[in-house]
Amino acid sequence: MADVVVQLDPPVLRVMEARGKLSFEVPVDPGALRAGAVEDQAALRDALRSAVQQLVLRGKKPRRLWWVLPLEAAAEHVFTLPPVARRDLRPAVERVVGEWLGPDAPPVSVKWRVVARGDDLRVYVSAVRSDTLASLRSLADSLGLKVRGYLGLTPVLCQAVNEGCLLYAAPGGQVLAAWVRGRQPVWLLREEIFPGDDPVAVLAGAVEMCRGDGWRVERVFLAGAADNEEVAAALESRGLGVVPLPGWPGEALARAFRAGIDHGQGDGGKTLRKRLALAMVLVLALEVCGMVAGWSRAQARLEAVQLEVQARARQVTEVQQVAKQVTSLKAQVEEVKKLLEPPEPRPDWEALYGTLVRAGGEVSVEKIDASREKEGGWVLQVRGRATSVKAAVDYARSLRTGAFSRPCLEKVSVGQDGSVQFEVRVRWSP
């Protein structure tokens, strides 16, 4: 047995063979992990040692280990970016992630990948504290296991859903609501159930947020603590179907392992460098075949490949030239359209600012940035201060009436004086 997958899900460690043929649970002290960080290494090491011993008793000798991180261990978000060239994608993502984390963030391991392409790009980003990863690696090293990678829980859960709304609740009160398409999270919301909150109301509210953002929710896949009769009844009363997450946890973990959903995987598309490396390997294989079966035959094949590559390169050059001409013509057409179009009426900015300020309540608006959309609407970036995090969340939810739609609370930070700074992104159609 080479690889074993261990999911951190206190009060248990869920252990599974990488191929999904063997799985069992080992108890662990719930206080061993707190807010995603390792608090009691001794308790976690004892639980991991017990899991290894059970595998050995069953004739399995693990050598490599994959950690499945708990939900609270990762800060995650799905960003929407305008279409950009491939060479500009990484700098754009790094700039957005830097603003998201802020200058005072502790050392973290940030990984991202593109999960949807269309009129815009959707990029899933996860950030895990570096000291958490180092602690888990040292635990594995102490038992003679080599860590192969770290699997994020959200991508693992999404591997069980082709398309639909996913609702998961962790034992510690963390809540995940996500819209999954093609087994990728294209929209997600993270909530937390605090003492005194109604868990059913929080979970049902997360699903309503998904519906409010324009996703057509007809049924909800339930997993973790969200998979219970009370939550199912609350969602069914809203006209939604409920389904337990299929294959969780065994089949979903195995599928995620096979798909390589590692916390460490960036945009996994085939880059030009990979293709060139593959071509070099092919040429080297041809040369070896020529040494074995005859140099002349391999040489002729290599020349044929070179001629084909040159022909393809000429075709690509011609296509690029045509594409440039088409782009130039499109630009000229757009300029003519702009000249023929009547001037658009200027929005009433004073009335808009008054509306946003009056909607605040316990919120003070400090700055509003506006950018125009292709469809004719506006995207507003509202920055301000609130007396509490709840007030900021309520303010964002209040922007769902009239000409406003799809508000998103993108950034919240608490200052040393206790004030809450926030940023809300909302669409406005005057």
Written as one string, the DSSP assignment of 342-357 is PPPPPP-HHHHHHHHH
Residue 244 lies in a domain: yes
Tell whether 265 is covered by a domain: no
Give me the DSSP letters along 26-58.
EE--GGGEETTEES-HHHHHHHHHHHHHHHHHT
Tell me: the pLDDT tens digits for 307-351?
888 888 888 888 888 888 888 888 888 888 777 766 655 666 666
Write the CATH number for 110: 3.30.420.40
Say yes or no: 90 and 182 in one domain.
yes
- Mean pLDDT in the chain? 84
Any domain includes 59: yes
The total domain count for the chain is 4
Question: Domain check: are 281 and 410 in the same one?
Answer: no
Of 212, 233, 259, which marks where a domain is finished?
259
| Whether the predicted pLDDT of 258 surpasses 60 | yes
Quick one: pLDDT band at residue 262, thresholds 50, 70, 90? low
pLDDT at 298 over 90: no
Q: Which of 314, 340, 366 is the last residue of a domain?
A: 340
Q: Give the separation between CA 51 and CA 55, rounded to whole angstroms.
A: 6
Domain C-terminal end among 231, 259, 287 = 259
Residue 335 covered by a domain: yes
Which one of 201-210, 306-315, 386-395 scores highest in mean pLDDT?
A: 201-210
Shortest CA distance to 262 belongs to which of 117, 169, 133? 133
114-149 pLDDT per residue, tens = 999 988 999 999 999 999 999 999 999 999 999 988
Distances 63 to 26, 52, 60, 172 between C-alpha atoms, Å: 19, 10, 10, 31
Model confidence at 106: pLDDT above 80: yes
338 — alpha (psi -120 to 50), left (phi > 0) or beta?
alpha
Q: What CATH number is attached to the domain comprising 404?
A: 3.30.70.2830
Give the span between the Cα atoms of 409 and 363, in whole angstroms: 14
Tell me the mean pLDDT in the region 85-113. Answer: 92
- Identify whether residues 328 and 366 lie together within a single domain: no
- Could you give the percent of the chain with pLDDT greater than 70? 84
d(CA 73, CA 78): 17
Q: What is the pLDDT of residue 218?
A: 92
What pLDDT is recorded for position 334? 83
User: Are residues 402 and 369 both part of a single domain?
Assistant: yes
Q: Considering the domain boundaries, does residue 208 fall inside one? A: yes
**Does 266 fall in a domain?**
no
Look up the domain containing 237 and give its range.
77-127+153-259
Q: Has residue 273 got a pLDDT over 50?
A: no
If asked whether residues 236 and 182 sit together in one domain, one would say yes
Res. 267: pLDDT tops 50: no
**Structural domain includes residue 382:** yes
pLDDT of residue 242: 94
- Rounded mean pLDDT, 197-219: 93
Predicted confidence at residue 136, as pLDDT, reads: 93
Token readout for 365 is 């608006």
Banded model confidence at residue 256, pLDDT cuts 50, 70, 90: low
Same domain, 34 and 140: yes
Q: What angle do CA 195, 198, 204 make, to 5 degrees?
A: 130
Which of the listed ranges 70-74, 266-270, 299-303 does the model predict with the highest average pLDDT?
Answer: 70-74
pTM for the model stands at 0.59
Highest mean pLDDT among 2-11, 159-168, 388-397, 398-407: 159-168
CA 395 – CA 359 distance, rounded (Å) = 7
Of residues 429 and 188, which shows the higher confidence score?
188
pLDDT band at 175 (very low <50, low <70, confident <90, very high): very high
Domain co-membership, 50 together with 85: no
Instruction: Look at 412 and 376; give whichever has higher pLDDT.
Output: 412
**Which tops the pLDDT comparison, 304 or 205?**
205
Same domain, 203 and 106: yes
Residues 113 and 251 in one domain: yes
Q: Are residues 221 and 81 in the same domain?
A: yes
Q: Say yes or no: 112 and 218 in one domain.
A: yes
In this structure, is residue 352 part of a structural domain?
Answer: no
Q: Using pLDDT thresholds of 50, 70 and 90, give the confidence band for residue 277.
A: low
Of all helices (H) and strands (E), which one includes residue 234?
helix 229-236
Of 14-18, 285-289, 317-321, 366-370, the one with minimum mean pLDDT is 285-289
| Mean pLDDT of the 226-242 span | 93
Tell whether 294 and 207 lie within a shared domain: no
